[in-house]
Amino acid sequence: MDNKDYVAQVMDDWYSSMAANNVSVQPKASTLLGMVLANYDIKPKHDVRDIWDEYLIISGGQFKGWYDSLTEEQREEWHTQIKSFQTKRKTNKALLKG
């Protein structure tokens, strides 16, 4: 992910936290914070795995070990993505049949 993406993510998290606590700041303050954060190399504390990309390149014999290495949250994410892919695939087939 690009540094700008992380700045946007931090800003979104900040806005969400402020909204949850009924706090607001002037728009200029938000702009200044974004400009300051853009001068820093920001990255998350924990590496973010792209489960779908890993799944697409894993070989069949390695799948069980890979799947067992996933956390419960990552498994839920994988199952959600599989269902989404299958739904899109069915929709595309229906469109092709006309």
Number of domains into which the chain is organized = 2
Give the range of the structural domain holding residue 21, as residue numbers without chain letter.
3-37
Residues 55 and 33 in one domain: no
- Residue pair 6/44 in contact (Cβ under 8 Å)? The answer is yes
Question: How far is the C-alpha of 43 from the C-alpha of 3, rounded, in Å?
Answer: 7
Residues 92 and 69 in one domain: yes
pLDDT value of residue 8: 85
Predicted confidence pLDDT, tens digits, the chain (98 residues): 566 678 888 888 899 999 999 999 998 999 999 899 889 888 777 666 788 888 889 888 899 999 998 889 889 989 999 998 888 877 776 767 65
Residues 64 and 91 in one domain: yes
What are the tens digits of pLDDT across the range 20-48?
999 999 989 999 998 998 898 887 776 66
Q: Which of 57, 10, 60 lies closest to 34 in space, CA to CA?
A: 10
